[in-house]
Structure 1
Amino acid sequence: MTSTSDYLIIGSGVCGTSIASYLSHLSPSPSITVIDRSPDGFVSASGASNDLNKIIRADYTDPTYCSLAKTAISKWRADDVLRKFYHEVGVLFRSQSGKGVGEYVDAGIKHAWEPKDVQLEVGVEGKKRAYRLTEDSQVEQILSGVEKSGLGEGLKGFGSTQTGYFNPRGGWAEANNATRAMLSHAITRGVKVVGNCLVTEFVLEGTKVVGVKTSSGTTLFAKNIVIATGAWTSDLLTTLTKPFSPSFSAAGGWLTRPSAQCVAILRLTAAEAEKFKGTPVVINFSSGFYLFEPVLEGGEWQMKIAYHSNGFVHPRPPSGTDTGAYPGFEASALEHSHSPATDHFGTAESCIPPTHLDIMLDELHKVYPSLAQKERVVGTRICWYSDTLDENWILDTLDHHPALQNAGVEASNVWVVSGDSGHAFKFLPVIGELWATVKGLQRNNWGVDLKRFTWNHQQSLHKIKQQGGKVTSADSNRFVAEQVEGLNARARL
């Protein structure tokens, strides 16, 4: 079986879906095929986009992501397909007072709204803008549905022991539902989606990459190939390039690697859910812990709590076909015992500690103590990031990667879109358009330096790190152990 397309997109998560959608709007008769290892071709069950919810916020201190996020939010509000999946309940940032905390809050408030943002505020012109929390009564008003006695110590002492701010112009989106809806809409515009496609090798015509083969024997030809496989990217690239780059070491060479992040789901009663419904996303910006309002899932009210951190080496994203299940925290120690490994970035811990769920519940207790009970936990799961050293994404052609520059293979038509670094989902409405700009399909109207999205940029960072230099994230709020006494200064969740 063979198939030919103008564009073949491997992976139907946030990046693949957004690119397919945008391409379908650029062409009146698109020849676009999206494939995934999932049975139906939509985002895989273990993909990061297959999730209850993701944070939507724009108060980045990095001007590039701040601008992109504000544009994305304007589309979340207005887009006919996406707006019903966006819940603008606000985002509350909190931390114990300490060194650098006040500066972080000031920067967040400043970047949350600027005069140039007026054109992006259709429909919310009168909505309150981000403001500092200086007294507990403000928090009590924001969380008016929750009894005062139900608020933990982390939501008390503002203006003294606690520092933070509230941005009403943010919230969360239904991740899986929004991603599937966008791809479904793209199908109505002519995009073809194919499931059960496990890509195993490139197809060459002479020295030029012209397609891929799958484990079932299917050959898919395309003028342009987009690899948008998230945390699976480094393993897939190792497999695909092995015939012409056999000595290449994937351990540190692909400039992106997966990290396992920790999520727990709690069960609430209908009465409890009623109290907490409509509450904002709450982020502890010094620890990386965050939580959402409860959502109704499968007839049961559930609340998601999670950490945004440097993550763990184990468990790694599963190879092979879609298993339809997320591994829990226990999979980390089991996998580590069979194949211990270290992180070549030098940041992720090897194995999730057995006390990690208890640590998460302790964090929850500081916010909503009545919910911090282990018997409420429905389950734990892993969310995999595709990380880069500075959390900038990779939007570049494969031939620009240093491993391929002398391989004798022409891969200028093969794009790698990866390195989400745990903060890409909010950009679902605009990543496709940004990629089209990088590819040269349209002018750069973003005012963005596109060189930050290249292999060359990431390679230069690795050289700095190898020489003992410090690589600073453009805008990170991950928990970093060596910074525990200070502040992980800028939120990029």
Structure 2
Amino acid sequence: MAASTESYLIIGAGVFGASTALHLVRAYPDASITLVDRNAYDAPIRVAASWDWNKVVRADYVDIEYMRLCLEAKKYWSEDPIWKSYYHESGVYWVSPNNFAEQMQENYKKLGVDSGLFSFSVEEAKKQYGGIFKDADFTDVKEVFVNKNSGWGEAKEALQRTIEEAVKLGVKYIEAEVEKIEFDDDGAATGIKTSKGESLTASRVILSTGAYTAKLLADSAPARKDLQAGDRFVAAAVTEGFTPVSGENAKDYYDGPVGISMVPPSRGASNGSVPHSEDKTLKFWGQIIFRNTQTHANGSQISAPPPAVDYAQLEVPDTLKEDVDFAGKSLFGKGSETFKNENYRICWEAVTPDEDFIISPHSASKNLYVATCGSFHGWKFLPILDVHAHYVPDFYAQALRDAGHLPGPDGMPGIPEWTPEAHLNFMDAQDIEKSSLSISSPGVYLSVPSKYATEKAIKLARQVNEYASELKFKYPDNFGFFASLPLPDVSASVEEIKYCFTQLDPKPDGIVLMSNFYGMYLGDPDLDPVYKALNEVNATIFEHPTTPCTEHNHLRFSIDGEDPGIAPPEWLTLNRPVAGRQGRAPTIDFPFDTARTFADLFYSKIPTRFPRIKWIMPHAGGGLVPTLDRIVSYSTPDVNLTESFMKATLAENFYFDLAGPWPVTWAISPLLRWVSYEKLLWGTDTPFTPWAMAEAGRVKFDQDIEEAFNDTSKVEAVRRSNAAKLFG
């Protein structure tokens, strides 16, 4: 793995900052990563919203995407050795006059998972959990919903454990008060200045500063309106308190479920209680959410926590204490008369209008990123990486049409519509942290070889590569890309490699090669200059299957010759004589062309002759894995492919993406005979796999991979950290 030259400065060690630090150091162990917070991570009390006695962990969302995210996060809470000891699946008891549970049930059904959600009449609900809710306020409530698959987490302990793990892996933790962000003359972020006047610098500055974010931005550049939070989010607060529980049936309370009540709705948001079986306490939160709006020196109105170092979080007015106390009465009625909240706290958070998180580059400042706005429900989420995704800019789609790839390439029914915005929306909905984009089959050489086709391919390769580089520059945390080459023109391809890796800024993450280029398979000796150039830059090659070439090839049609006048549909028919019965090339031909070109690589000894190149084979190797024993066993003596040699070479140089649409359980088992789980990557194959189909595939992938491994650390590796290490 290449050493990372990036440095990261993460401001704020709450859930967003701590999680970012841990995932960054796992992905880029050689990078310089610094986590800064005003409090020590083991301080007895902190201002972070995620520092708390306990927090609710539940997947019950009307928004299906948040439900999907939390279901993924709950796997980590339940199984990961870092967090599982802090999670308690006690159940959640919902009291609400709104019939939102019907939508939640529908969401669970769409996702194909057991909801754990049960509905009870009010009279039956009163009997649940030892009758502790029998005196609750059930005004206008027709049904009570209980989710037995939800629960609560030990918040401050889990947060501290996350930071400790990050520090153990190499993150530097600095306790300091951040005064402002610093910028260069072009307005790009360069670091921060502390209250003691010390400057800390990094190539990337990440704000995970929660409720303090709007004020920090205003203090840092008061005259720059484009930098301010504006109406994107606001600092808001809710009050909470906790009480020891004792008495005859105390255990029913502190070992009982989370209680959430939306009664009466006129008082505001929900109130509720969270048990703590270790401390034998209940935490309550109130329904009043409030701001602390003030006029900033730049004249803008900003809500921010009080200026005290601890946000004056323990200075709770009687009105807010009464709001918290009301939660006990609402949920437990007479049962709450023995409770007396002994400690109160004001919890400050950054909240967006739609309660979505913000995880994004700052549009007004290069090198500045925002990862915050938990909106009072962000404590429980984690992210993933997609290595097999395509881009189809308008000019490339038109080039396909002009070359006669109709209605679509390789017998496909059409050319998919694609925009960066649509791809980003899909990524956001699927919690995809980053997509590695590539041009799909047939690549950039779109016509049967000729002098005219070669000239067009050279221009198109440069155009798609510059477009992708600009996209990576604009969205550095969202998109990477594999550059395209105008093969079978070898000399032009070598020049394009030099251009991509010496002049493009940012550079590609690797190169995409089709499984063949008009009969030039990847073991062809004519490709040696290309491999030499790629070997020199430690390139990663993403092999992508294309229509096989078995009848006509580049030996017959010269890249410098006259146009042979064979259109793409005719070319496909010549090379796929049973195409009419087999349907589209991706159905049958693509998987086996990956196997064919893989065998050609090894029979030509490419991996050993160019050992610094890494390879990604798509679709779990396609038809490769079922035939790998034959490839090894039937090799000629001069090649000398043994099982041990093959396994060693795969371990050193090869990765396999799991882009579908087959069940992952079918693909993983035979793959693991040859490679470890550390060589498996996740991919969507969008947009040639339509967005909706990719969404459904993601759900199936999650189920399959968890069944295949039953190990959250391995699942997390396949979803993201294997790819992060490869591209690090």
| Normalised TM-score (structure 1) | 0.69
Look up the equivalent residue of 2:197 and give its one-letter code.
G
**1:282 matched residue in structure 2:** 259
**2:369 matched residue in structure 1:** 415
Of 112, 115, 118, the residue aligned with 1:131 is: 118
**1:440 matched residue in structure 2:** 478
CA distance 1:111–1:278, change in 2 (3 Å): farther
Superimposed CA distance per residue, residues 184-214 of structure 1 (whole angstroms, 9 cap, x where no aligned partner): 1111111111112323341426543222211
The answer as to whether partners of 1:152 and 1:366 remain within 8 angstroms in 2 is no
1:239 aligns with 2:219: yes
**2:274 matched residue in structure 1:** 292
CA distance 1:268–1:416, change in 2 (3 Å): same
Alpha-carbon offset, residue 41 of structure 1: 7.9
Q: How far apart in 2 are the matches of 1:41 and 1:366?
A: 35
Look up the equivalent residue of 2:478 and give its one-letter code.
G
* Percentage of identical aligned residues: 23
**1:474 matched residue in structure 2:** none
**1:86 matched residue in structure 2:** 87
1:108 aligns with 2:121: no
**1:464 matched residue in structure 2:** none
**2:24 matched residue in structure 1:** 23
**2:597 matched residue in structure 1:** none
1:317 aligns with 2:305: yes
Of 425, 435, 440, the residue aligned with 2:379 is: 425
How is 1:256-405 mapped onto 2 (pairs within 5 angstroms)? 256-269=233-246, 273-286=250-263, 287=265, 288-297=270-279, 301-307=280-286, 310-313=289-292, 316-319=304-307, 321-322=309-310, 326-330=313-317, 354-373=318-337, 376-398=340-362, 400=363, 404=364
Superimposed CA distance per residue, residues 273-294 of structure 1 (whole angstroms, 9 cap, x where no aligned partner): 4232321111113540111124
* Higher relative contact order (Cα pairs below 8 Å, separated by 6+ residues): 1
**2:135 matched residue in structure 1:** 153
Q: How far apart in 2 are the matches of 1:445 and 1:110?
A: 25
Q: How far apart in 2 are the matches of 1:23 and 1:446?
A: 25
CA distance 1:446–1:290, change in 2 (3 Å): farther
Alpha-carbon offset, residue 5 of structure 1: 6.5
Question: Which shifted more, 310-319 or 48-57?
Answer: 310-319
CA distance 1:316–1:413, change in 2 (3 Å): closer
Q: How far apart in 2 are the matches of 1:378 and 1:63?
A: 38
Of 136, 143, 154, the residue aligned with 2:129 is: 143
Question: Which shifted more, 209-218 or 226-235?
Answer: 209-218
Superimposed CA distance per residue, residues 439-481 of structure 1 (whole angstroms, 9 cap, x where no aligned partner): 226788699xx9xxxxxxxxxxxxxxxxxxxxxxxxxxxxxxx
Superimposed CA distance per residue, residues 81-134 of structure 1 (whole angstroms, 9 cap, x where no aligned partner): 0111111111111124xxxx23x121123334545347xxxxxxxxx8211112
Where 1:385 maps in the other structure, the secondary structure is: strand
May I ask how many residue pairs the two structures share in their alignment?
Answer: 384
Q: How far apart in 1 are the matches of 2:314 and 2:367?
A: 35
Q: How far apart in 1 are the matches of 2:44 and 2:313?
A: 13
1:164 aligns with 2:144: yes
Look up the equivalent residue of 1:420 and give its one-letter code.
G
Where 1:376 maps in the other structure, the secondary structure is: coil
Q: How far apart in 2 are the matches of 1:20 and 1:361?
A: 37
Question: Which shifted more, 197-206 or 418-427?
Answer: 197-206
1:11 aligns with 2:16: no
Q: How far apart in 2 are the matches of 1:445 and 1:228?
A: 29
Q: How far apart in 1 are the matches of 2:240 and 2:168?
A: 34
Q: How far apart in 1 are the matches of 2:385 and 2:22?
A: 7
The answer as to whether partners of 1:18 and 1:430 remain within 8 angstroms in 2 is no
Look up the equivalent residue of 2:136 and give its one-letter code.
G
Look up the equivalent residue of 2:7 and give its one-letter code.
D
The answer as to whether partners of 2:135 and 2:335 remain within 8 angstroms in 1 is no
Where 1:292 maps in the other structure, the secondary structure is: strand
The answer as to whether partners of 1:198 and 1:321 remain within 8 angstroms in 2 is no
Alpha-carbon offset, residue 355 of structure 1: 4.2
Bigger radius of gyration among the two: 2
The answer as to whether partners of 1:283 and 1:291 remain within 8 angstroms in 2 is yes
| Normalised TM-score (structure 2) | 0.48
**2:663 matched residue in structure 1:** none
Q: How far apart in 1 are the matches of 2:685 and 2:64?
A: 11
How is 1:37-116 mapped onto 2 (pairs within 5 angstroms)? 37-40=38-41, 45-96=46-97, 101-102=98-99, 104-112=100-108, 114=110, 116=112
**2:611 matched residue in structure 1:** none
**2:175 matched residue in structure 1:** 195
Q: How far apart in 1 are the matches of 2:196 and 2:125?
A: 59
Any gaps of 5 or more consecutive residues in structure 1?
Answer: 119-127, 331-353, 405-410, 451-493
How is 1:444-483 mapped onto 2 (pairs within 5 angstroms)? none
CA distance 1:163–1:233, change in 2 (3 Å): same
What is the aligned-residue RMSD (CA, Å)?
A: 3.5
Give the structure with the larger helix fraction.
2
Where 2:275 maps in the other structure, the secondary structure is: coil
Q: How far apart in 2 are the matches of 1:317 and 1:444?
A: 42
Look up the equivalent residue of 2:20 and give its one-letter code.
I
Q: How far apart in 1 are the matches of 2:183 and 2:147?
A: 49
CA distance 1:277–1:310, change in 2 (3 Å): closer
Look up the equivalent residue of 1:291 and give its one-letter code.
S
Superimposed CA distance per residue, residues 330-372 of structure 1 (whole angstroms, 9 cap, x where no aligned partner): 1xxxxxxxxxxxxxxxxxxxxxxx5443354344224323553
Look up the equivalent residue of 1:305 and give its one-letter code.
F
